[in-house]
Amino acid sequence: MAVLGTNSSFALLPTSVPLKSDLTFPPSPAETIKGSRPSSVDGDAEEPSELCLFEELDAERPRVYPLPPRSQPNSVLPEDLKTPDSHVPRDPRLIRLTGVHPFNVEPPLSDLYDQGFLTNKDLHYVRNHGAVPKVQDEDVLNWEFTVEGMVEAPFTIPLRDLIAEYEQITYPATLVCAGNRRKEQNVVRKTKGFSWGAAGLSTALWTGVSLGDLLARAVPKRGARYVCFEGADKLPNGYYGTSIKLNWATDPNRGVTVCYRMNGELLHPDHGRPVRIIIPGQIGGRSVKWLKRIIVTKEPSDNWYHIYDNRVLPTPIDPEASADLPDVWKDERYAIYDLNTNSATCYPAHDETLSLSDEDEDEAPESYAVRGYAYGGGGRRVTRVEVTLDKGKSWTLADIRYPEDDYRLAPEGDTLYGGRMDMAWRETCFCWCFWQLDIPVAQLAGASDIMVRAMDEGLMVQPRDMYWSVLGMMNNPWYRVAIHRQGRQLRFEHPTQPALISGGWMERVKKEGGNLSNGFWGEKVQGDEQDAVEQEPPKDICMTKEGVKRSITINELRQHAGEDEPWFVVNGEVYDGTPFLEGHPGGAASIFGAAGQDATEEFLTIHSENAKASMPEYHIGTLDEAGRKALSTEEVTTDADAEGARAIFLQPKVWTKAILSGKRAVSSDSKIFTFDLEHAEQQVGLPVGQHLMMRLRDPVTRGAIIRAYTPISEGTDRGKLQILIKIYRNTPDRKGGSMTQALDSIPVGHFVDMKGPVGKFEYLGRGLCSVSGKQRRVKRFIMVCAGSGVTPIFQVLRAVMRDPDDATRCLVLDGNRAEEDILCRTELDAMAASNPDRCKLLYLLTQPAEGWTGLRGRMDAALFEREVGPCRTTEGDEMVLICGPEAMEQSVKAILSGMGWKEEHLLVF
């Protein structure tokens, strides 16, 4: 016997632990029903007969290895109906990690474990960066991808030929998201990634063709070192792509495969239908879905997602600093390929209770089977799993079950789903294993926690403490389950719960003021006050009013969805927007658009800290649980298929998708972006002087990027929408614009969400305008703009000048750095030339070239005293419209205020 601990019989186990026949490992169902066939991706629909290219399972042939559990018929869920994924059926049990769309999910941990070694498509985790490409059944076999780059014989191959011309192989592999267990890192300190729990992994049987066979046909050239993969999913920064080393791709023992079946079924849309790469032993982000290109190269992929995703940067780099370190992101030393060793406890489950028996009772169990999963990376086998009840002072070996080994016992020549069972010869291990340890209940009752760690055959063991990094990936410290004694029961508490689900000892400890980085799981220790790692200061601003306890139902909220008394919701709290109606910078339309809605995303993305701090004044109550659930299932994006041929594109309460159809450069840093509306006859629907909101998703964090823009299109234009945007790029001295750079990087064909109109100013024509809902008559506009701030000025000026009966006079002061920066100049010059009595146009440059005959310098007091003069009216028939950089706007307001212009005369777009 090897004594692994010193203080109890719990630590006594043989050095070599045999597997027990009575262990309660998860089931491994073996369906061997004669003539059975996996269900299609659409539930109970029949697959086209041409696609039935696999052997039927034969009940008379004994199977020595697990077969997958049956999939259940699923339908498109209500929350997906108004998203680009409205064609994808899904299981409602999956936990959404990034809101409704895109679809990033994990199953409940207990459900995943209970399903056994193989995971069906219903519960398999999903990591999607954007919309799922839609492929009709009749197009599956015609799906093509290329093998190109540094090869002697590039070729294009449809799936039909991939199946017909190459040997098929089938084997199991566990896919794991690099973000598995990230929620633990996010509780310690927020990363740039969303909150995976411990179920960001799944195992399936994959059928396809060895990538090495395809590369052998293409013949890589001398000097080639990498193989890049690119999918068909259109994203804000191009198509998703990544790369691995060429010698990995061609090594049969690495098992890299081009797959078209999962558990015998054609790939489900979420899992890459029709074709994907499977790279066993590496993070799931390398296994590109919806495969379109295989490119052999000399250097690693230059794809945006290869560089800015799936990296573990040094822990001192925080999310803010990371945005200005392009060379660090491109450093291949920080790229993640092989998985690291990891394990988790599945039972006892979170909040599970265990009864303790009294001395005279025999009903309670004497022992409890603590059990969970473990996995290694790069084909390395997990060789031991150890459990401790005393925080690592002593350890006990757990029993390990490796179902992957069952496939190595398949008879020579055995096939499954049309593929040769490609396992008997392999030395590599690509799947998770299950561990279990029976622990006396009395010992559990005397402990404060259960912790587990695993080690692989390279003697790589899970670390005791977390390695925090900016993307929160590869989190693998000891997995700790806290134990609470509650009377005659034990209650178990996992570290976290996935997504925004509350619960877990880490959140509890942090709320209680514990230091999760102190090396003792947040427990108070002697000297902790002096030695504790400095915590990130809390930045949360209280947005609720003390003492407000009112519970508000969804029906009450909807009764205030109109313009009389608009209520809206932020983070589950209800606010009365009525006091905002007159003074809100976005105008009353912004409040009306949020009325009766969950405005959390828009409010938190757009508003300043000062605005957030003012919210308690308007707080009236909390939306009840049923109301929150109702709002969470309401999608706020429309499309033509769901809504029919709507006459007006912009909607105040819902996001509508427009498709980017063109980009045209008009200067070195400005472009006109053209978007197709839902149909050719659809009208934009934007009043003169108002704006629309645009929304994109950060490709890493999936957080919303929302900005307001004024199109150069007219509100009555049909079918297309044009927006002139100045692109603020990153420089060594300045962080660029998140939205403008994202817009510049998305490919033609990508969608952008739009919503509107918003704004407190509207020009109604012939000098009549509306400001915060109140009409006023204007005889002269002084229009002050700079750079791309010309767009709302241009919109109003055009409306005035195109009406020959509009007597309103306009003075336009347009400031820029150089002559090439003057936007819309041709149109502005034409309007001024055609209306000399009504329009005076002055350009001002700070860095003019030789020969410039216009004004020079900045917009200073002398300019405004000379060209504008003091306010000459007490009736408000003059108005100054201002749009440009914030510093310019403030300067102009200060100068004019000093000249006697009152606040009601000045309007900043």
Annotated binding site for Mo-molybdopterin, which residues?
177
Q: Is 786 left (phi over 0), alpha (psi -120 to 50) or beta?
A: beta
Q: Which two tokens stand for residue 571?
A: 């983070």
358 is catalytic: no
How far apart are the C-alpha atoms of 266 and 298, rounded to whole Å? 34
Whole-number Å distance between alpha carbons of 178 and 337? 9
3-state secondary structure at position 401: strand
- Residue 123, Cα to own-chain centre: how many angstroms? 19
Cβ atoms of residues 397 and 385 within 8 Å? yes
What residues contact 45, with CB distance under 8 A and at least 6 apart?
none
Residue 153 in tokens:
């014989």
Angstrom distance (rounded) from CA 472 to CA 484:
29
Would you call 433 a catalytic residue per the annotation?
A: no
Q: Give Cα separations from 840 to 767, 777, 797, 805 (angstroms).
A: 17, 20, 11, 18
CA-nearest of 847, 809, 698, 694 to 756 is 694
CA distances from 363 to 356, 357, 366, 369, 516 (A): 9, 7, 9, 17, 38
Dump the DSSP string for 368-381: EEEEEEEE-STTPP
- Residue 724 tokens read as 């002139």
Q: Which residues of 848-875 are buried (b: 16+ CB within 10 A; e: fewer)?
A: beeeeeebeeebeeebbeeebeebeeee
Calculate the alpha carbon distances from 644 to 410, 451, 639, 653, 680 in Å.
Answer: 55, 55, 8, 17, 13
CA distances from 532 to 170, 468, 869 (A): 51, 16, 62
**Phi, psi for residue 396 in degrees, rounded to 5:** -130, 140
As beta bridge partners, residue 529 has none
Which residues, including other chains, have CB under 8 Å from residue 327's CB and lie 6 or more apart?
A: none
How far is the C-alpha of 280 from the C-alpha of 305, rounded, in Å? 20
Please name the residues in contact with 189: beta carbons below 8 A apart, sequence gap of 6 or more.
468, 536
Task: Please identify which of the residues 120, 186, 263, 310 carries the catalytic annotation.
Answer: 310
The residue annotated as part of the active site, out of 270, 309, 744, 821, is 309
* Distance, C-alpha 39 to centroid of its chain: 30
Please state, in angstroms and rounded to a whole number, the distance separating the CA atoms of residues 673 and 671: 6
Q: Which residue has the tokens 């004044």?
A: 617
Q: Is 177 a catalytic residue?
A: yes
Do the beta carbons of residue 237 and residue 243 sit within 8 Å? no
- Rounded Cα distance between 786 and 885, Å, is 7
What's the CA gap between 828 and 520, in Å, rounded?
Answer: 67
Of 713, 725, 712, whose CA–CA distance to 670 is shortest?
725
Q: Which of 177, 346, 824, 883 is catalytic?
A: 177
How many residues are present in the chain?
Answer: 909
Binding residues, by number, are 177
Between the alpha carbon of residue 102 and those of residues 309, 412, 698, the distances in Å are: 16, 43, 11
Per-residue burial over 608-625, b = 16 or more CB atoms within 10 Å of its CB, e = otherwise: eeeebeebbebbebbbbe
Number of neighbouring beta carbons within 10 Å of residue 323: 15
Catalytic residues: 177, 309-310
